[in-house]
Amino acid sequence: MTTTDRLVETTHAAISVRERTGSGGPTVVFIHGNSSCKEIFREQFAAPELARMRLVAFDLPGHGASQDARAPETSYQIAGYAAMTEELLAKLGVERPLIVGWSLGGHIALEMIGRGFRAAGVLISGTPPIQPSIECLMQAFNIDPSAENLTGKRDFTDQDALMYATATSATDGGLDAHFLAAAKRTDGRAREIMFGSVATGAPLDEQAIVASMTVPLAIVNGEGDLFVRHDYFGTIPYGSLWPHGVVTMAGAGHAPFLQTPRAFNALLAEFAAG
């Protein structure tokens, strides 16, 4: 196995890609969340259960080691991220991958399916499938109207970055400095434009997408995820939800693949095996 990092030019931005070679099974593509980076999936790149698979992770435009978007108003919407991902995967020669989408990354994955992208399967984590409206956002997420919305805040203070990175990415060992740096590095326009576009109804209807999906869908959430309303996942229909249903992992928060990696990787390997 060989792991490489490189920049790949797209029409949206130059994208930083981490890729590990593999010899069997589907290619697994990982899409990270808001104000994060590709390194959040480090435990999957090191997992023996996934050793034979080709793994691809990348930094979204305006995140990590990727460039800021050349056309922010377009690229920083869910549809823009989806279009960029499709373009990137075509350049990498990736066909019919299994997509693992975390938080914002899960919304991007569902948007891709709604756009007709052909995948072997989709695993989402911390991603309630929503209709793009304020009413549905309030039903699906724990949003405190009296508190500042960091998810859509353009300019982070150092304290904002620490709070957001801790809430999304901390483990029992504390917060990795790289994830704090990623939150500080993120182009604030990415948060502002993305959240604003969702609130005004720009993305596709994810409830309709998961209800009509024919490719396998897995949902794996952390029991301690404070961002999502766990009961919401049981209120919508699914067309191709895997036999385990909606999995809630004990001991994990918003990022179970990072916080309880052994259990998560076992589920991912099972899902990839079909």
Q: Which two tokens stand for residue 105?
A: 């990354």
pTM: 0.98
Q: How many domains does the chain have?
A: 1
CATH number, domain of 17, equals 3.40.50.1820
Residue 10 has pLDDT above 90, yes or no: yes
Helix 104-114 vs helix 78-92: crossing angle, to nearest 10: 80
Quote the CA–CA distance of 98 and 46 in Å, as a whole number: 18
Q: Report the relative pairing of strands 241-249 and 121-125 from DSSP bridges.
A: unpaired
The per-residue pLDDT for range 102-111, each reduced to its tens digit, is: 999 999 999 9
Which domain covers residue 82, as residue numbers? 3-273
209-228 residue pLDDT tens:
999 999 999 999 999 999 99
Pairing of strands 14-20, 3-9: antiparallel
Closest CA to 85 of 223, 73, 100: 100
Residue 104: what residue type? Answer: L
Burial of 229 (0-12, 13-18, 19+ CB in 10 A): middle
Residue 1 has pLDDT above 80, yes or no: no
pLDDT tops 90 at residue 274: no
Summarize the confidence of residues 167-186 as an average pLDDT: 98
